Structure 1
């Protein structure tokens, strides 16, 4: 594996490591504000407040609105999915726990990723479902079952 690929994998791992912190902080924010949708709004507003100074520091030019008229309609789902994810994390992470939540999120991400590749959707190249990918999905689901079996048994006293 090339050094550049290893660096990208490390970046993805660090990005993924932030997810349980985000889920826990947003869940606490939801409890503090009294509703998960207020926490979603605040979280996304804070995200915007963090990105705006970076745009100014990097002197990124404003996009042209004409470029949007030629873009596919599905490009807008990123913001919708972001709000959906943050709200889902606020509601679900405290109930599943950090590890259970992240494991389930990874399982969902992998199912969607394989489906996206298989269909060549949203700008990704088409890649057929293979036995290796299916085996990877099954291993992830096995991990999810093991993680949640422990959580379930500890909550019900079935250890």
Structure 2
């Protein structure tokens, strides 16, 4: 139960982080600068936690030779997943930007569990678990409004030649990389015998990657002030992101990648509906509908099938 509670909590934190970083992007004028700021703050937080618990940030250099190369690239996958959301939104719209990565996460999570990829906990794919994953996906689609998805699909049908299929596949692949990051970081934690150090290293690698992107793109640095000033909370997105990675590293070795993904997705949808219902963090208020509540129940049923069978 503790693992499920942690998964739900860090999942709820994801849409909060998205809203916070969106506000930071407005203030800094660049999504890449906002991402770099968020990653840097998260890295500093995890470094402090690691120093307090493990009394050091380093590990034996011989691990680079003894361990597979993929063990060190979880942070790169994380940056790819984050950047994908930025790139997909203007191409696919909000609904498909949510759905495509989630589809990739569910598929990759089940594959990782079924084959024990990245030395993760092996859990064979059964008919019941597969049906549970379908229920989770259907619940997500309903929660973000199936009507909007259908309307956008009809609107886009005549534009397939413009390469939208490629963008959709990019979204699915980005989601698969996000699930792979969870499995990789989970094994990294086992190798280092430290959950916090694994989370720190993953975030540190991600920070270096986004820094290189910023240096290459060289966006203009500015601080835009709103009429009522910039809120203090726009700087804490990295803290939520750091705790999310830390929670992932803890969960995967215990309950597996597939279940971790679906529980976090359930928390994500709960957090999103809470933000919409109350319009917190300067978000536009969109009252939750009965259809969204029913969709959430469908998701819970899917998680129960995957968890219990």
Verify same fold: TM over 0.5.
yes
CA contact (8 A) 1:19 1:102 kept: no
Q: Does 1:58 align with 2:146?
A: no
Higher relative contact order (CA 8 A, sep 6+): 2
Match runs of 1:79-94 below 5 Å? 79-94=238-253
Compared CA separation, residues 136 and 79, structure 1 to 2 (3 A)? same
Offset of residue 18 of structure 1: 2.1
TM-score, normalization by structure 2: 0.44
Compared CA separation, residues 78 and 12, structure 1 to 2 (3 A)? farther
Size of the alignment, in residue pairs? Answer: 147
CA contact (8 A) 2:259 2:306 kept: yes
Compared CA separation, residues 83 and 31, structure 1 to 2 (3 A)? same
CA contact (8 A) 2:187 2:253 kept: no
Deviations 1:41-70 (A, max 9, x none): 111110011011111111112344x75993
Offset of residue 39 of structure 1: 0.9
Distance 1:105 1:98 in 2: 11
Distance 1:14 1:76 in 2: 29
TM-score, normalization by structure 1: 0.82
- Quote the RMSD (CA, aligned, Å): 2.3
Deviations 1:79-131 (A, max 9, x none): 11111110100011121111111010000001100001001112321011111
Q: Displaced runs of 4+ in structure 1, greater than 6 A?
A: none
Match runs of 1:134-149 below 5 Å? 134-149=293-308
274, 279, 299: which is aligned to 1:120?
Answer: 279
In structure 2, stretches of 5+ residues that fail to align are 1-90, 101-167
